[in-house]
Amino acid sequence: MLNLICKTALIKSVLLLLIFIGTTPLTGCSKKEEPVIPVTPPVVETKTLKEKAKFPIGAAVTVAHLKETDFANAFKSNYSQLSAEYEMKMKGIWTSLTGYSFDNTDYLVNFAIQNNMKVHGHALLWYSSFPDWFKTAAYDSLNFENNVKTYIQTVVSRYKGKIVSWDVANEIFADDGTLRVESTVYKTFKDPIAFYGRCFQYARNADPDVKLFYNDYDQVLNSAKRNSMKKMVERFKKSSYPIDGIGDQFHTTIWTSKTTVSSGLTDIATTGLLVHISELDIRVNQNKSDSYVFTDAEMIKQSDMYKSIVESFESLPQAQKFAITTWGITDKYTWLTGWWHPKEYPLLFTSNYTKKKAYDGFLSGLK
Ligand code: XIL
């Protein structure tokens, strides 16, 4: 019996010793400790663009496209703001001096409201969208301005409280920074900038809360144009004409200089106004080649460019980040297939509404 007790005690002691050895660090022991390499799991971004962004993510759409279920679903799931690709321009609304067609614009605005989206109005005055009947009438400056004033009041007040912002004037400067001579405004007014200033005021009077933008392309890349815009803003401020923001269209490319984009955006922000990347798309088919193939390598370049543009925008002061809007959502429908080349793939979704690498690039550029 005693023997058994002794044996049990001995086994217990050995077991305790083994446990002790097993749990004691092997410091000073010849066996080397395995280095512990922390494994960082890859960041899997589960949020959509609109969920991640701290500012609105917009897209240009049309009534016809919103009536397509796939299009509408991709738009609703990923975007939080709507721009009209053309239906809110003068030509789309102003049918005769006293005639207005609001069916399409009402549809767009109601779609946005029903889906909890904001609406950016594009655009009240664009040289390319004055209706033919208006141009043919060849009004003198007084009648021209009175009619345009009525147009602005009618349209802006109709959507008061429903549209958050308007591009009051679009593309008034030529590429050398002078005023665009082909504009009917240029041909009618001795001082076109003052006319535009009064138009901003008419819009403000019609909706005191709406944000008012000047919109143009390549302001970031073209310092002549940017400087003219900045002078106009200075003049508006001195003359107390209202202006809240600058939109740069950003119809850009994968071969555009990222540093120029970044410094140009920073320079626009020195106006102190809101900044809107208002019509973003990124072309890939540099040589307009019929045999162009959108390879993986090209997709990655496009994705990097989206990321870099979004990062540059993110580096602006938070209060000045108005929104980033892409000019469409799917490569199935892009104005570039007509205007640039049929083989173009500038947007965030494929023709089948799958997310492109470009989408991931945009998403990873967001803070
Ligand atoms: C384009 C639309 O995408 C086309 O469908 C339309 O026919 C012409 O206008 N700058 C602008 C936009 O401010 O309004 C233009 O949109 C593209 C260039």
Mapping DSSP onto H, E and C, the string for 37-54 reads CCCCCCCCCCCCHHHHCC
* Burial of 32: CB neighbours in 10 Å, binned 0-12, 13-18, 19+: exposed
Q: Whose Cα sits closest to atom 16 in ligand 1?
A: 85
Q: Is 81 in the pocket of ligand 1 (CB under 6 A)?
A: no
pLDDT at 185: 97
pLDDT at 33: 66
**How many residues make up the chain in this entry?**
367
Give the DSSP letter of residue 67. Answer: T
| Rounded distance between C-alpha atoms, residue 228 and residue 226, angstroms | 5
Q: Is-contact 180 128, C-beta < 8 A?
A: no
Structural element, H or E, at residue 120: strand 118-121
| Rounded distance between C-alpha atoms, residue 71 and residue 333, angstroms | 10
pLDDT at 318: 98
Give the DSSP letter of residue 91. Answer: H
Pairing of strands 57-61, 81-84: parallel
Residue 279 falls in the annotated catalytic set? yes
Q: Is 335 in the pocket of ligand 1 (CB under 6 A)?
A: yes
How far is ligand 1, taken at its centre, from the CA of residue 231, in Å? 26
| Rounded distance between C-alpha atoms, residue 250 and residue 323, angstroms | 13
| Rounded distance between C-alpha atoms, residue 51 and residue 362, angstroms | 13
Give the DSSP letter of residue 320. Answer: G
Give the DSSP letter of residue 350. Answer: -
In CATH, the architecture of 48-365 is Alpha-Beta Barrel (3.20)
Active-site residue identified among 87, 145, 171, 344 = 171
Per-residue pLDDT 10s for the chain (367 aa) are 444 444 444 444 444 444 444 444 433 334 456 677 767 666 677 899 999 999 999 999 999 999 999 999 999 999 999 999 999 999 999 999 999 999 999 999 999 999 999 999 999 999 999 999 999 999 999 999 999 999 999 999 999 999 999 999 999 999 999 999 999 999 999 999 999 999 999 999 999 999 999 999 999 999 999 999 999 999 999 999 999 999 999 999 999 999 999 999 999 999 999 999 999 999 999 999 999 999 999 999 999 999 999 999 999 999 999 999 999 999 999 999 999 999 999 999 999 999 999 999 999 999 9
Residue 171 falls in the annotated catalytic set? yes
The pTM (predicted TM-score) of the whole model is 0.89
Give the DSSP letter of residue 344. Answer: -
